[in-house]
Amino acid sequence: MYTIGVDFGTLSGRAVLVDTSDGREVAEAVYEYPHAVMDDKLPSGRQLPPEWALQHPQDYLDVFFNTIPAVIKKSGIDPSEVKGIGIDFTASSPMPAMADGTPLCFVEGYADEPHAYVKL
């Protein structure tokens, strides 16, 4: 039986596959955020005020889409053997989202609004 830990850092996210029988790290994968830390401008080109630091929620989703399959592939285990996934963040504000969980910056009309992104 295995678990996967996913850590969302400042510039990248990491996944580690752990064997629950002995705590051994079986595989790991890192994904660097394409948007990095947005401290100058938004993807739309809108300039940010001085001393702002934002992250794009798509980067978090891409961490899941890339690192979890990678650790399973590297390890060669059957995905059904993974019994849990834990996540943590280095430091950030709550993500502004709609009632259904959609990040606010994904909603038409909000992509150009700095307050629709995660703040560091």
92 confidence band (pLDDT: 50, 70, 90):
confident
**CA–CA dist 82, 65 (Å, integer):** 16
Residue 50 predicted with pLDDT over 90: yes
**pLDDT for res 93:** 77
* % of the chain surpassing 70 pLDDT: 100
Domain count within the chain? 1
**pLDDT for res 89:** 87
Pairing of strands 54-55, 118-119: antiparallel
The CATH number for 103's domain is 3.30.420.40
Residue 36 predicted with pLDDT over 90: yes
Mean residue pLDDT of the chain comes to 96
Can you give the three-state secondary structure of the chain, one letter per residue? Answer: CEEEEEEECCCEEEEEEEECCCCCEEEEEEEECCCCCECCECCCCCECCCCCCEECHHHHHHHHHHHHHHHHHHHCCCHHHEEEEEEEECCCCCCCECCCCCEHHHCCCCCCCHHHCEEC
The whole domain housing 74 covers 2-119
Residue 90 predicted with pLDDT over 90: no
Cβ-proximal residues to 64 (8 Å cutoff; 6+ apart), any chain:
6
pLDDT (mean) for 40-52 = 96
